[in-house]
Structure 1
Amino acid sequence: MSVVKIENVDIVFGDNKAKTLPLMDKGHTRDQILGMTGDVVGVQNANIEVNEGEICVLMGLSGSGKSTLLRAVNGLNRIARGRCLVRDGDIMVDMAKCDDATLRHMRTRRVSMVFQSFALMPWLTVLENVAFGLEMQGMPKAERLKKAREQLKMVSLDKWADKKPDELSGGMRQRVGLARAFAMDTDVLLMDEPFSALDPLIRSQLQDELIELQKRLNKTIIFVSHDLDEALKIGSKIAIMESARIIQEDTPEQIVLNPSTEYVERFVAHTNPLNVLCGNSLMTPLAQLAVKEDRISVSDDIWLTLENGKLASVQGPKGDIPTARWTPETILANVPENTVFIVPANIAMRDAVELRYHSNMFMVLEDKDQCIGILNDHNFYHALLGKHFGREEVAA
């Protein structure tokens, strides 16, 4: 179910929208329009749909329009044309056209925001900062403080409740901002580069915490970032923006495997595939392997035998090679060497590489109890060197 729908949204900063919008329709560039009317095109013809429980990451370089679009979702940026719909129960509210009372309701009950600068009030305690939004909702003091303590415990800051923000580190203050936003219990959470000012280690820890919190709370999150590795790590979908336009929207894996433009291709060129790709996008399909006497050749001296599509045995130069089944619960320290593991088709590349390190053998991929391909060193090297499918190969 869609929670946010952005439809043909244009955002223009300036006083000459009547001249600027027709110029946009005629294909004039952002720089041309700035010279002709003095207006700045913030977002042009944006279309995106965010479903319940998704983390949608808007990303691009500075000035691409990502934060401008994010701020339209809670009405902070005025839309010149198009619709920005946010779910409120059974109806979709157009944030571009709602009255002041509806806008206040949406901001206090349906949409909350986490800022890059923490935006904590220095004269309030940590607990009071977390409870502040609940006070704006009209919640009684005892109830809001109790809820605020629960949120602080969720982000492991309950022991700091009576401290002031300036007594906390940057990472801790950002967690207070997260707790405050989650305390509002809104359906939609907007996050504008919330971790970008933090040290890399703290940033990575907060990304992990956000992922774990999302598993429990299942919020609909729109997250702005200029860091592709961050976007690939936390996003269930990514929309890449350039010069006020969304130029590609897709899953993290498809963004890496099938960049639609040279701009996106440059973005993904140096990303870490371990955090994104899965086995079925890296594997060598069985159909590409040689078959002889009902056996499938993995290499010159290793063969697979199938029965009704399932792996029956693996033969090597000295006879049968041991096989075992991998699950996410497998303790890798106990994995025997020289064992061929049967793994699910969607195994994460990071898990597959680590399993290869311990088992010293290739893997056989299964989907719906059917053997579909293998993962070997050749596949891993291609992925790590960025040799997976690119635009030219897809086009061909």
Structure 2
Amino acid sequence: MVDAILEARGVWKVFGQRAETLRSHPSAWDAEALRRDGFVVGVEDATFSVKRGESFVIMGLSGSGKSTLLRCLTGLYPATRGHVLIDDIDLSLASRQSLVMLRRQKVGMVFQSFALLPHLSALDNVAFPLQVTGIAKTDRRQRAEAALALVGLKGLEQRFPSQMSGGQQQRVGIARSLIADPAVWFLDEPFSALDPLIRRDMQDEFMRLQSQLHKTIVFVTHDLEEAVRLADRIAIMADGRILQIGTPEDVVTNPATDYVRRFVSGIPKSRVVRVARVMGAAPAKPDLAGPTLPQTATLHEVMGWILQSEGPIQVADANGKIVGMLSRAEVATWL
């Protein structure tokens, strides 16, 4: 992919006492044979790319390999086999020092544990990555203040982690991960430790930040509803393998395997199917003054309009051009 900033090419991660010796094995690898030999296959032949500005969600149940894959993508785990490239830098060929610099300059990471330093204020926690790289105190404090304001914590700069709620602490962690303006932003189940209401608020905050910053994001979660809400594309994993990659709409409406079908069965199709997929042909003479629905909205989002309307409603693209019509009958086929 020409516009890919992150690529995984045949990535395997195998654990075991003799795992390092596997690098000399022949080209054909068999996961079941490796397991019979006593190895643990954490990631099996993962291949995909992530476009600049894309929100790519890796999801699966506990033990599926999703967090192991993320650690391979960041270089925290060296891949047993295969290649990971970030902005054309091959992590398998990079020196230890180069990996450290890459994480400081091109990668931002947020984990489930907030990992804040308890003896530092929110401001100093956020500024800490810049302090490590030798940025002048005045500059790093200004940038930390801006980052905290970005995540809605203006006025709380001098609070310590013990004086902040879980949601506030996670916002500090998010601000810290963004302080160096990373090229790729990795988040490993960042909201799992939060209660449901705060978690929903943090998802809203995440979407607000992405609409403003347009970051390239790799987000790991076990929560399908969270994945559907946040993702441009989803990769579903089980037993170390990626079973399907696609938009939320693709995965829910066209599951590739029985496992994926069972996995997504609880998600109403109206929450992922978009107006553009369901709408009928555009009218011969559009009513330019009449009401319109955005073609990118989900059916769930426009349901109120459809129920209140006596007839079909026009659908418009991002430029306001009328591109179709949506009726109750067309919506009903997806409910």
Q: TM-score, normalised by structure 1?
A: 0.77
CA gap 1:325/1:137 in 2 versus in 1, 3 angstroms: farther
- Cα deviation, 1:66-119, whole Å, max 9, x if unaligned, reads 1111111221111111100001xxxx1111221012111101000120010111
Distance in structure 1 (CA, Å) of the matches to 2:83 and 2:305: 48
CA gap 1:153/1:366 in 2 versus in 1, 3 angstroms: closer
How far off is 1:28 after superposition? 4.3
The answer to whether structure 1 residue 358 and structure 2 residue 308 are counterparts is yes
Which residues in structure 2 correspond to 1:113-124 (within 5 Å)? Answer: 113-124=109-120
Distance in structure 1 (CA, Å) of the matches to 2:167 and 2:208: 17
C-alpha RMSD of matched pairs (Å): 2.4
Q: Which residue identity is paired with 1:33?
A: L
Q: How many residues align?
A: 330
Distance in structure 2 (CA, Å) of the matches to 1:19 and 1:131: 41
SS in 2 for 1:46: strand
How far off is 1:125 after superposition? 0.8
Distance in structure 2 (CA, Å) of the matches to 1:26 and 1:132: 43
Q: Which residue identity is paired with 1:68?
A: T
Say which of 315, 326, 335 aligns to 1:374. 326
CA gap 1:175/1:273 in 2 versus in 1, 3 angstroms: farther
Q: Which has the greater radius of gyration?
A: 1
Corresponding residue for 1:198? 194
Corresponding residue for 1:248? 244
Corresponding residue for 2:10? 8
Distance in structure 1 (CA, Å) of the matches to 2:70 and 2:176: 19
Larger strand fraction of residues: 1
Corresponding residue for 1:33? 34
Identity %: 38
Q: Which residue identity is paired with 1:10?
A: W
CA gap 1:182/1:28 in 2 versus in 1, 3 angstroms: closer
Q: Which residue identity is paired with 1:40?
A: V
CA gap 1:209/1:142 in 2 versus in 1, 3 angstroms: same
Distance in structure 2 (CA, Å) of the matches to 1:364 and 1:172: 42
Say which of 260, 263, 266 aligns to 1:267. 263
Corresponding residue for 2:298? 348
Which residues in structure 2 correspond to 1:1-396 (within 5 Å)? Answer: 1-17=3-19, 18=21, 25=28, 27-29=30-32, 33-34=34-35, 36-87=36-87, 92-283=88-279, 285=280, 309-311=284-286, 325-326=290-291, 342-365=292-315, 372-376=324-328, 378-384=329-335
- Unpaired runs of 5+ in structure 1? 287-303, 313-322, 327-341, 385-396
SS in 1 for 2:234: strand
How far off is 1:268 after superposition? 1.4
How far off is 1:276 after superposition? 2.0
CA gap 1:274/1:202 in 2 versus in 1, 3 angstroms: farther
Distance in structure 1 (CA, Å) of the matches to 2:255 and 2:152: 39
Distance in structure 2 (CA, Å) of the matches to 1:68 and 1:100: 19
- Cα deviation, 1:276-325, whole Å, max 9, x if unaligned, reads 22113234x45xxxxxxxxxxxxxxxxx9x5xx3357xxxxxxxxxx963
- Cα deviation, 1:31-86, whole Å, max 9, x if unaligned, reads x633x322110101101101111110000111111111111122111111110000
How far off is 1:16 after superposition? 2.6
Distance in structure 2 (CA, Å) of the matches to 1:366 and 1:310: 14
- Cα deviation, 1:345-392, whole Å, max 9, x if unaligned, reads 43431332021243354434467956645321x4444433xxxxxxxx
Answer 1 or 2: higher relative contact order, Cα 8 Å, separation at least 6: 2
Q: Which residue identity is paired with 1:348?
A: T
Give the conservation status (yes or no) of the 8 Å contact 2:23–2:80. Answer: no
Corresponding residue for 1:394? none
Give the conservation status (yes or no) of the 8 Å contact 1:11–1:41. Answer: yes
CA gap 1:21/1:42 in 2 versus in 1, 3 angstroms: farther
Q: Which residue identity is paired with 1:204?
A: R
